[in-house]
Structure 1
C-alpha cells in the first residue's frame, strides 16, 4: 500500500489515495499502528481520499488512535494539497468532509485556503472564568492566559491542563480539544496558541480547527479579521465575518500544506 506524508504547520498526516476503496477503515488497530511514531509511519491522524459523486473528492479522517473523528482543518488543507498533487484539481475545489461540504483554493506559493463551516456564537465554558467554547467542525475549549500570570504559555504544562479539561465532566462523553492562548499586547500581532488534541491525547504542533476557534474568540478581545495565529509549528491566518446573531460566517483558514515524503507499507 502506498502512502504519502503531509504536514500543515507541523500537524502531520498519513494520506492514502483510496479512490478504489480498498482500505479497511474498520481496522482501528492498523490505523493506530500506521500513525504510531515508534512502530509506524508517525502522524497525528490518517486521511483517506475517496471519490464522491457531485464533489471533487471526499476526505475521511481518523485520529491517531484509529477512531473516526470530527473535522480536521489542517488535515483538510493537506487533503486539498494531496488532491492537487494527484491531478484531481487545479487551483479551486469543492469536497466533502464529515461536517459537510467545503470550498478551498491553492495559491501558486502553496498556501491552501479552506472555507470552514459557519460557527455558532461562543459559549462561556463551565471550567473557568477565562474560558469559552466554540464548535468549528470539532469541539474546542479555549483558555486565555493573562500575560501577567506565571507560567507563560511557553512554560505552561499543556499536557496536564489539557488532559484535565479534555476529560472534564462538562464535556462528557465525547470530550473536547483544548487550546491555551496568550493574549498579545497588540491584537494585530500573532496570537500564540498551544493545543491539546483528543484522539492524539497529547499536544500537537498545530490544530486548524483549534486556531479557527481561537481567532473567532479573539475577535471578542480586540482582534480584527484576518487574525494571525502562531502555533508551535508555524503561522496560520483566519478570516471571517460577524453574523448579526453573534455567530460567524465566511470563515477561512489559510496556511501552508506540504508533502514531506512518500513510501510503501508492506
Structure 2
C-alpha cells in the first residue's frame, strides 16, 4: 500500500502527519510508526500524529501522538499546533479548533499565521535544589545552566532522563539560560526521541511556568528561544497554580508525499 503523508514542523520540531479519519492505519502498528519516523530508512521525524474523527459532538477531531520510537506518548505541544494547522489545511476547521488528545481537551486558534494552543492547567511544580519538575501534558525536568550554546545536552540529558527518580518511564529534560526579564533560551532532551530536539512545546511551556514560579520573571508572557526558533507562552497565576496557559508559535507544512508500507 502507498500511504499519503504530510510533513510539518513547528520551530524545527518535525512530525509525520496522517489523515486517519477513515482508519487506514491501526494504532497498534508501532513498528510502522517507528520506521516512518526513522531518518535513515523512513521519512524522518521527531514524532508521528494521526488526525482521527472526533469522539464527541464538541470536538472537531482527535489527536493521537506517537514518539519517534513508535510508542504512543503523552501530549506534544508543537505537535498539537501542527495538527491544528493540518486540520485547517484539510478544511476540517477554519481558524478555531476544539480537540481531544491523550491529556484531555484542548482549544486552539490560528491568528496571523501563528497557532495559539491552550495547554492544560498546572497546579503543582516540584522545587528541588538543582531543578524543578512539573507536568505540562508531558513530564519535564527543568534546570538552569550557564553557556547553554556549548552545554552537553545529549549526554547530560540522557543521564537525567534515565536516572533516579525517573528510570525507565523517564522525563524530558530542559536546560535553561536566562537572557533578560522575560526571555529565556532552552535546549531539550526528549524521551522517545532519545536525543536533543530543536524545540519541544510542552518543554517550552514547562520552562516558562518554572521561571515564573522561581521569580526569574514576573511577566505572564514569556518568550522562549529554542534552537529551532522562538515561541511565546502566556498564562495566568491563580491560587490553584497556573491557568489559561497558551503555547504560541508557527506551524508549517514542509511537504506532502507517498511512501510504501
Fold shared, TM-score > 0.5 on shorter chain: yes
Distance (Å, rounded) in 1 between the aligned partners of 2:10 and 2:243 = 23
Following TM superposition, by how much is the alpha carbon of 1:221 offset from its aligned partner in structure 2, in angstroms? 2.6
C-alpha contact 1:120 1:135 (8 A) present in aligned 2? no
**CA offset digits 1:168-227 (Å, max 9, x no partner):** 12013411000000122x212x20000000000000000000000000001133321110
Distance (Å, rounded) in 2 between the aligned partners of 1:130 and 1:168 = 14
Structure 1 gaps, min length 5: none
1:30 partnered with 2:23: no
1:70-219 to 2 correspondences below 5 Å? 70-107=74-111, 109-125=112-128, 129-145=129-145, 147=146, 152-184=147-179, 186-188=180-182, 190-219=183-212
C-alpha contact 1:13 1:44 (8 A) present in aligned 2? yes
Following TM superposition, by how much is the alpha carbon of 1:22 offset from its aligned partner in structure 2, in angstroms? 1.7
Distance (Å, rounded) in 2 between the aligned partners of 1:173 and 1:72 = 19
Q: Secondary structure at the match of 1:43?
A: coil
**CA offset digits 1:63-100 (Å, max 9, x no partner):** 00000000000000000000000000011110010000
- Name 1:240's counterpart in structure 2: 235
- Name 1:2's counterpart in structure 2: 4
Following TM superposition, by how much is the alpha carbon of 1:25 offset from its aligned partner in structure 2, in angstroms? 1.7
- Name 1:253's counterpart in structure 2: 247
| TM score, norm. by length of structure 1 | 0.93
Distance (Å, rounded) in 2 between the aligned partners of 1:187 and 1:197 = 26
| TM score, norm. by length of structure 2 | 0.95
Selected match of 1:68 from 68, 72, 77: 72
C-alpha contact 1:70 1:138 (8 A) present in aligned 2? yes
Distance (Å, rounded) in 1 between the aligned partners of 2:90 and 2:162 = 39
Q: Secondary structure at the match of 1:218?
A: helix
Distance (Å, rounded) in 2 between the aligned partners of 1:60 and 1:110 = 24
Q: Secondary structure at the match of 2:165?
A: helix
Please identify, of 236-245 and 42-51, the stretch whose mean Cα deviation from structure 2 is larger: 236-245
C-alpha contact 2:141 2:172 (8 A) present in aligned 1? yes
C-alpha contact 2:33 2:48 (8 A) present in aligned 1? yes
Q: Secondary structure at the match of 2:27?
A: coil
Per residue, is there more strand in 1 or in 2?
2
**CA offset digits 1:2-46 (Å, max 9, x no partner):** 000000000000000000012022111111110001111000000
Please identify, of 6-15 and 17-26, the stretch whose mean Cα deviation from structure 2 is larger: 17-26
Q: Secondary structure at the match of 1:229?
A: strand
Following TM superposition, by how much is the alpha carbon of 1:120 offset from its aligned partner in structure 2, in angstroms? 1.9
C-alpha contact 1:228 1:236 (8 A) present in aligned 2? yes
